[in-house]
Chain A
Amino acid sequence: NAGVMQNPRHLVRRRGQEARLRCSPMKGHSHVYWYRQLPEEGLKFMVYLQKENIIDESGMPKERFSAEFPKEGPSILRIQQVVRGDSAAYFCASSPRTGSLSGANVLTFGAGSRLTVL
């Protein structure tokens, strides 16, 4: 009965390298969300995906960032040619296909992946 699993928990990259962050949603959940958080700040929405589809990527930078949620396997957030400003905690959350009994879209979060760019 595992929750949302994110790995790696900590990732160190040098400028110009690629970072790949993985997220396995909670069992039975078909919607995945990626958020970015800087220290002492709230969550910044990046992208919302269903299996094989990007639903909303309005919070994703146009360059260097991409996300996928394949039919099989975890969702991947990929950051190419990382820069120091990409250092942050990246959280994945999942929700079921339908809302809760109240109709609210309730998210279950993973523990996050902390990216440090040297």
Chain B
Amino acid sequence: TQLLEQSPQFLSIQEGENLTVYCNSSSVFSSLQWYRQEPGEGPVLLVTVVTGGEVKKLKRLTFQFGDARKDSSLHITAAQPGDTGLYLCAGNAGNNRKLIWGLGTSLAVNP
């Protein structure tokens, strides 16, 4: 069974701090996606990473896909209260259109 484990499960930090959250698996994924979900809303896609070792930047967010395509990280620089939300990673295993989802990291950024 393919699993994606996200850590930490909960994270509460002060505005301006940096943080990294992780998405790990023992399985290889052809691609991996990161979503952010705000309270009362559906998840919204942030980024898709496809190539092992790939790094993508989205303003203050930096996403990295592991060389072996088994893990990924999300680093946020100078976190802001607007970054608060549930960060979910989801992996695509080859031709299977069904995504494998992690349980998410719940981030709270306090002003």
Q: Which residues of A are interface residues toward B (Cβ below 8 A)?
A: 4, 31, 40-43, 45, 48, 55-56, 91, 93, 95, 99-100, 102-112
Contacts and interface: CB of A to CB of B under 8 A. Distances in A.
A56 to B, nearest CB: 6
26 contacts: A4-B42, A31-B97, A42-B86, A42-B103, A42-B104, A91-B43, A93-B42, A95-B97, A99-B97, A102-B31, A102-B48, A102-B50, A103-B30, A103-B31, A103-B92, A104-B30, A104-B31, A104-B50, A104-B92, A105-B92, A106-B48, A108-B45, A110-B42, A111-B42, A112-B40, A112-B41
Interface of B: 6, 30-31, 33, 35, 40-45, 48, 50, 86, 88, 90, 92, 97-99, 101-104, 106
Given A42-B104, A45-B98, A109 B44 contact: yes
